[in-house]
Amino acid sequence: VSAPLAEAVAALAGVDVGVAALGPGDAADPLHPDEAAAVARAVPARVRDFSLGRTAARRALAALGVAPTSIPVGPGRGPVWPDGVVGSITHAGGWAVAVVGSAVHVGIGVDLELDGAVGDEELAVLTTAAERRRLDALADPAARATVATVLHGAKECVHKVVHPAWGVALEPTDADVDVIGHRPAITGRWTATLLRTAGALPVGTVLGGGWAVVQPAPAPTGALVVCVLVAGRWTGAPDSVNISVRR
């Protein structure tokens, strides 16, 4: 499934990015020493996820023409990308995806989840009343489960863009995510409207991303939901962030 997963992510990004996806059947390349130090005390499953993510990241960078390099863990726990690059890493169910692009973009967020993994208890903490109302309007349990997963994934994408760019840690209820499309469709878009100011982004800023359901084969873990956000483009002036919204 790694080729379909990478293709789905590239299609959702909609701009020129490097993408790599690896799965349970793939070997991870050795870590660079500073990367290995970051997971020296971690359990084997975490080392595997981290290593697969770093391997995917270096392959995604190679697709952009960037030579293999260490991708250290930054002070905010996010990856430290080479100069001129922004990107994001995610892992779930033994899969890892990395997306990288030019730093003309404010940032990139990618998030992978098992479809239906977001239960009602988690939703109660993650969602605003408006998000829950829209979710509860979906009668089909499969559609609801996927949309709930996208709600979670979209918020993770927003965090993965906003936190590295401005050092602001948003709460899940600081953004209102509207999921556009639902099953039987297996791909759609989403918007996240900021309910508070975050760095250079004023309250009311709308970030636009995409989502897709990808079925791994064989499928020990069920379907995967991937969310992607490629946010904006610096236009030059210090506080001029033009966030592109695609619906």
Residues that bind ligand COA (CB under 6 A): 49-50, 53, 76-79, 89-91, 111, 155-156, 158-160, 163-164, 170-172, 174-175
Nearer to ligand COA, 1 or 97 (CB): 97
Q: Is 115 exposed, middle or buried (0-12, 13-18, 19+ CB in 10 A)?
A: buried
Nearer to ligand COA, 49 or 131 (CB): 49
**Residue 221 Cβ vs ligand COA, minimum distance, rounded to whole Å:** 14
**Residue 104 Cβ vs ligand COA, minimum distance, rounded to whole Å:** 18
Contact 161, 184 (CB under 8 A): no
Neighbouring C-beta atoms of residue 71, cutoff 10 Å: 24
Phi and psi, residue 46, nearest 5°: -70, -40
In the block, tokens 């995409």 appear at 210
In the block, tokens 């996806």 appear at 21
C-alpha distances (whole Å) from 155 to each of 104, 193, 228 are 22, 10, 10
* Beta-bridge partners for 110: 228
The answer to whether the peptide bond before residue 68 is cis (omega within 30 degrees of 0) is no
Nearer to ligand COA, 59 or 159 (CB): 159
Nearest residue to ligand COA by CB is 78
Token duo for residue 58: 């270096």
**Residue 72 Cβ vs ligand COA, minimum distance, rounded to whole Å:** 10
Token duo for residue 243: 């966030």
Nearer to ligand COA, 18 or 164 (CB): 164
Nearer to ligand COA, 188 or 209 (CB): 209
Nearer to ligand COA, 51 or 182 (CB): 51
**Residue 214 Cβ vs ligand COA, minimum distance, rounded to whole Å:** 15
* Beta-bridge partners for 79: 73
**Residue 164 Cβ vs ligand COA, minimum distance, rounded to whole Å:** 5
**Residue 147 Cβ vs ligand COA, minimum distance, rounded to whole Å:** 16
